[in-house]
Amino acid sequence: PPGMRWPSTVLAASTGPGTSAALRAAGVPDAALVQPAGEVFDSEALWQQLQPRDWAGRRALIVRGERGRDWLAEHLRQAGATVDLIAAYQRHLPQFGAREQAQLDHALAQPTQCLWLFSSSEAVANLGLLAPGSDWSAAGAIGSHPRIVSQTQRLGFGRVELGELSVAGVTARLATWLAAPGTRSIQSDAS
């Protein structure tokens, strides 16, 4: 709230740049922000920054989706912290309207004309549920994390690459993708 300052003894940890930016905008000073140091943005990379701290007798609050991973909570508990979890959002299987179904039908009919961008393993699983038994072998995708890339490959996508989820990262990966031999141009519906 306006006029309140972030407590100097409380850290705010973030798994990625989007969350870090939101925390800064909410008033968390850089000195209180802990985030992954490299190019990988996940719980494992965040734990590398948190692990050296003394967690015995400390409390941690993890704000996540309703069905979030327990990996970080388990590691904090093993290090001696008391961990509370709060579900801040839910993910559901999408319900397609006519427009979304037409886009999926197009992607299935002309898989080389579409490039999928996945930011969660759950999104990949949802696609498998929305289009069961589909042949994805000619389709291409970018996954924002190695786990997501693996999940997409298991679904049967023929070409899957790891890419950073930022405008610059996606643009760079798309340019590389389009420059590859045999790749057709990708059309976008910007409306």
Q: Is 183 exposed, middle or buried (0-12, 13-18, 19+ CB in 10 A)?
A: middle
The pLDDT, as a whole number, for residue 57 is 95
The pLDDT, as a whole number, for residue 2 is 75
Q: Are 39 and 164 in contact (CB under 8 A)?
A: yes
Q: Are 121 and 151 in contact (CB under 8 A)?
A: yes
- Kindly indicate the confidence band of residue 190, based on its pLDDT and cuts at 50, 70 and 90: very low
Q: Is the full-model pTM beyond 0.75?
A: no
Residue 187 has pLDDT above 50, yes or no: no
Between 102 and 16, where is the model more confident? 102
Over pLDDT 70: what percentage of the chain? 92
- Kindly indicate the confidence band of residue 116, based on its pLDDT and cuts at 50, 70 and 90: very high
Mean pLDDT of the chain: 87
Report the half-sphere exposure of 163 (CA within 13 A, side-chain side): 25
* Rounded to 5°, angle at Cα 170 from 184 and 92: 100
Which residues share a beta bridge with 33?
12
Instruction: Express each pLDDT in 49-83 by its tens digit.
Output: 999 999 999 999 999 888 777 999 999 999 999 99
